[in-house]
Structure 1
Amino acid sequence: MKKKYLFGPIILALVLFTGVVFIPESWLAKLIPADRLEESAISMEPNMFQGTYLQSEMLKSSTYVPIYGSSELSRWDPFHPSNYFETNDAAFTPYLIGKGGMTSIIHDLNFATHAKQLKNKQMVIIVSPQWFVKNGTDEQHFSPNYSSLQAYQLPFNKEVDEQVKRKLMQRLQQYDAVKNDTILSQLYNAYLNDKKVMFHALSVPAKAYISILKKKDMYFTILMDKPTNRYQSDEVKDKTWEELRAQAATYGEERTQHSRFYIDDRVYKHRNDYIKSMEGKNKRHSYAESLEYDDFQLMLDILKESDAKPLFVIIPVNGAYYDYTGFPKKGRQDYYSRIKKQISDSDFTYADYSDHEYDPYFMRDTIHIGWKGWVYLNEDLQKFLE
């Protein structure tokens, strides 16, 4: 009798697991709420970035304009694109894809996964100077943000140029999250070293795992909590761009009364000790040389081959704060020049805000665009889409 009690739950668990894994994706798609895609436009859910279903649905629709970036997307205020365009009844909806620590390499993998859907797709890509540290993205920022599903799909992706795909796989292999995944790392090694027998053998468990991860993505999409709008305000409705810039300046001034460098009071108060400790500490720093430029070039190559229509947004640094830390102006200007050249050489468009380093209330803290900066971005996005 004891054996029956022992094996009963195990058998039941196996039956349930089999049902969960092998239920057709088409059945699961029917269970997804009709408004889930609209909700996910502002959800900022990591599972959405690391999955494929919702992004694929978004890219099929002309309603959504994806905005790719990092932590600045979660800095909400009335001038944030999601609030501004919703409040003004725009014909499109910004779809936010990014969180803190997401840099070129994460977006490269994402763009490669959806390459077939990017043709003629208009999008915005916010590029931050802080990505361009000497050694590129570190493990601490890569591991929580990269998509295992997208990484497993990469060797089987026939939409990306072969040389670009190989460079991306070689770059991914430098991270422990990939190296410590035995099947994935061996799959990459077999592919890169043209070991066809080994690659085909490893493809069986790899594709089985892809199937499991895709089902996981579908279940997340079904069960994800309904998000609330992060910021709703109609105070930016029906204003000219000049009126909005003046309004944003006033809004920023009210929130920087007790800080230096035009930093949001709440941020300054929270990080006051750190800011004080940074005086003169960055005298030897520069964004002129970085592995990130190679990662960024992979992004440009993928988008170019896919016939995507991106608008790159070149974010400045907070000039007053960077001067305070001793960060050389040359190390900043060299970055602006180099990144603009890379974008231009790929025949893409960019909005250049590098001359706003000392523009009060353009940045909301030491590194994030906000307030007046959002107004400039909204205006350029509107012109780009028109």
Structure 2
Amino acid sequence: MKKIFSILIPIVFAIIFTIGIDKSLDNKIDMLCKTKDISLVGKVYGDAVKDKSAVIKDLLSAKGDLFLIGSSELGIDVEQNPINLFPIKGCGYDVSCFGRPYTQDLQQATYLGATNLQSNQKVAFISSIQWFEDKNAIGPSHFAVNFSDIQFYKFLKNPKISDENKQYYAGRISKLLTKAKKNPAEAFYAKLYYNPTPTKKVLKLIFEPYYKTKQYLLNIKDKALIYKKLKSLPDGAPKTGYTIDWKAEKSKAQDEINKTVSTNEFHISDKWYNKNLKKELDNLKLQSKDEDPVNSKEMDDYKFFLSVCKELDIKPYVILMPVNGWFYDYTGLTKDKRYQFYDKVKELAEGYNLEVLDLREHEYEKGFLIDPKHLGKTGWLKVSENIFNYFNKKQ
């Protein structure tokens, strides 16, 4: 009996201690949310802790922030980027961004499905053709870089998401993580979850205590990491924003573009062209001629994203980002193929009664993009203005 007690007592104390830490973190985070502008965390592009966290998304949603979700374009540091431009007087919300390089439709769906979002959550979703250029969609190693274990478990536990979508998700996660040889515990759980058989059900039951414990500890870890970030913020109330003269901002941005030296065939700045593109031109000629974005596996992931949004009762404002037409013509992904892609993405979104900001007409507009694939000053200003007008109309 003494041996049993000697084993049980430390376990009981460990459980009580862990529960105490969990409750303490809840209280501390709640206090910090009252004294800090937590949107400052949401505005940091490329922060792995923030992007992989479920806790911060719950907090920012409760605060009323608009979620701007995309990928590498979010990192373009121009003042017209919504991350820098908002809050704007008259809109009543700030903007938090989620996405880094190699975050695509599957990850975007996870961002939303793994959190306890408010019923009126504002979401602006940027869709990029480059996600669809690989017929197999995102590569395993690229996906694993941004994979979040806590979001994975929370997505599968979300009662709003259908079993059909959870099955699709588990199947994709199992294949991607297994091929990447990353997160073996989650890869195994996804394999057990996907297409359950009697054997899988028994194994899942056997391993259930381990996975429940892990999820609980991951949740505490998530809270601890976010608490550390919130604690480091300066004290003070959120910014109230300022009034924007959109016409004046357009004129200012265009003046800056007109001063940019551009003598190359793609009409992008010579500085960027000489540094990043000039030496690679021979290798890029017609390299994309066999690509077929409409029939990429990524299109299935996009359909999955839209379906998850419907189940969560979220209506994202879909932003269909253009590319530099001159450059893409050079690489062989023709205008006809690009327009077929734009049409398909728009058609699928409108099938869910979503509004689409279709920017394809700017493919051949100098300065709209800062490089062949990412929005520049006038591009981001166009997006910011339309986000402002769209969500103000919704209020």
For normalisation by structure 2, the TM-score amounts to 0.84
The question of whether the paired residues in 1 share the 8 Å contact of 2:87 and 2:242 is answered with no
3-state SS, counterpart of residue 364 of structure 2: coil
3-state SS, counterpart of residue 366 of structure 2: coil
Closer, same or farther: CA 256–143 of 1 in aligned 2, 3 Å: farther
Q: Share of identical aligned residues, percent?
A: 22
* Counterpart residue type for residue 167 of structure 2: R
Aligned to 1:57: 59
Q: By how many angstroms is 1:36 displaced? A: 5.9
Closer, same or farther: CA 258–18 of 1 in aligned 2, 3 Å: farther
* Counterpart residue type for residue 75 of structure 1: I
Stretch of structure 1 that moved more, 104-113 or 33-42: 33-42
Closer, same or farther: CA 193–96 of 1 in aligned 2, 3 Å: same
Stretch of structure 1 that moved more, 331-340 or 206-215: 206-215
5+ residue gaps, structure 1, are 1-13, 229-235
The question of whether the paired residues in 2 share the 8 Å contact of 1:102 and 1:145 is answered with yes
* Within-5 A mapping of 1:9-88: 21-32=18-29, 33=32, 34-35=35-36, 37-44=38-45, 45-62=47-64, 64-86=65-87
Q: By how many angstroms is 1:59 displaced? A: 1.2
5+ residue gaps, structure 2, are 1-10, 235-240
**Aligned partners of 2:292, 2:383: CA distance in 1, in Å?**
26
The question of whether the paired residues in 2 share the 8 Å contact of 1:65 and 1:92 is answered with yes
The question of whether the paired residues in 2 share the 8 Å contact of 1:65 and 1:94 is answered with yes
**Aligned partners of 2:260, 2:18: CA distance in 1, in Å?**
51
**What CA deviation, in whole Å up to 9, does each residue of 1:289-332 have, x standing for no partner?**
20111101111011111111210000011101112223222221
Closer, same or farther: CA 31–22 of 1 in aligned 2, 3 Å: same
Aligned to 1:245: 250
3-state SS, counterpart of residue 188 of structure 1: helix
Q: By how many angstroms is 1:129 displaced? A: 0.8
**Aligned partners of 1:77, 1:227: CA distance in 2, in Å?**
23
The question of whether the paired residues in 2 share the 8 Å contact of 1:111 and 1:299 is answered with no
**Aligned partners of 1:203, 1:313: CA distance in 2, in Å?**
41
The question of whether the paired residues in 1 share the 8 Å contact of 2:90 and 2:243 is answered with no
Stretch of structure 1 that moved more, 319-328 or 14-23: 14-23
Q: By how many angstroms is 1:150 displaced? A: 1.5
Aligned to 1:380: 386
The question of whether the paired residues in 1 share the 8 Å contact of 2:268 and 2:366 is answered with no
3-state SS, counterpart of residue 313 of structure 1: strand
Closer, same or farther: CA 278–202 of 1 in aligned 2, 3 Å: same
* Within-5 A mapping of 1:116-265: 116-133=116-133, 134-176=135-177, 180-191=182-193, 192-194=195-197, 195-224=200-229, 226=232, 238-257=243-262, 260-265=265-270
Aligned structure 1 segments of 4 or more residues deviating by more than 6 angstroms: 14-20
Closer, same or farther: CA 375–314 of 1 in aligned 2, 3 Å: same
**What CA deviation, in whole Å up to 9, does each residue of 1:343-379 have, x standing for no partner?**
0111111111011100111111110012111121112
* Counterpart residue type for residue 73 of structure 2: E
**What CA deviation, in whole Å up to 9, does each residue of 1:32-69 have, x standing for no partner?**
4342622212122111111111101111122x111011
**Aligned partners of 2:227, 2:308: CA distance in 1, in Å?**
30
**Aligned partners of 2:93, 2:360: CA distance in 1, in Å?**
27
Aligned to 2:273: 268
* Within-5 A mapping of 1:272-291: 272=277, 273-275=279-281, 277-291=283-297
Stretch of structure 1 that moved more, 242-251 or 90-99: 242-251
**What CA deviation, in whole Å up to 9, does each residue of 1:61-86 have, x standing for no partner?**
22x11101111111111211122234
Q: By how many angstroms is 1:87 displaced? A: 6.3
The question of whether the paired residues in 1 share the 8 Å contact of 2:109 and 2:309 is answered with no
Q: By how many angstroms is 1:21 displaced? A: 4.7
**Aligned partners of 2:97, 2:38: CA distance in 1, in Å?**
12
What CA RMSD, in Å, does the superposition of the two structures yield over aligned residues? Answer: 2.8
Q: Which of residues 343, 348, 351 in structure 1 aligns to 2:357? A: 351
The question of whether the paired residues in 2 share the 8 Å contact of 1:28 and 1:219 is answered with yes
**Aligned partners of 1:239, 1:23: CA distance in 2, in Å?**
47
- The size of the alignment, in residue pairs, is 364
The question of whether the paired residues in 2 share the 8 Å contact of 1:75 and 1:370 is answered with yes
The question of whether the paired residues in 2 share the 8 Å contact of 1:184 and 1:206 is answered with no
3-state SS, counterpart of residue 144 of structure 1: helix
* Counterpart residue type for residue 93 of structure 2: F
Q: By how many angstroms is 1:227 displaced? A: 7.5
**What CA deviation, in whole Å up to 9, does each residue of 1:73-128 have, x standing for no partner?**
111112111222346575211111111111001112222212x5253322100111
**Aligned partners of 1:243, 1:261: CA distance in 2, in Å?**
27
Q: By how many angstroms is 1:254 displaced? A: 2.7
Closer, same or farther: CA 158–87 of 1 in aligned 2, 3 Å: closer
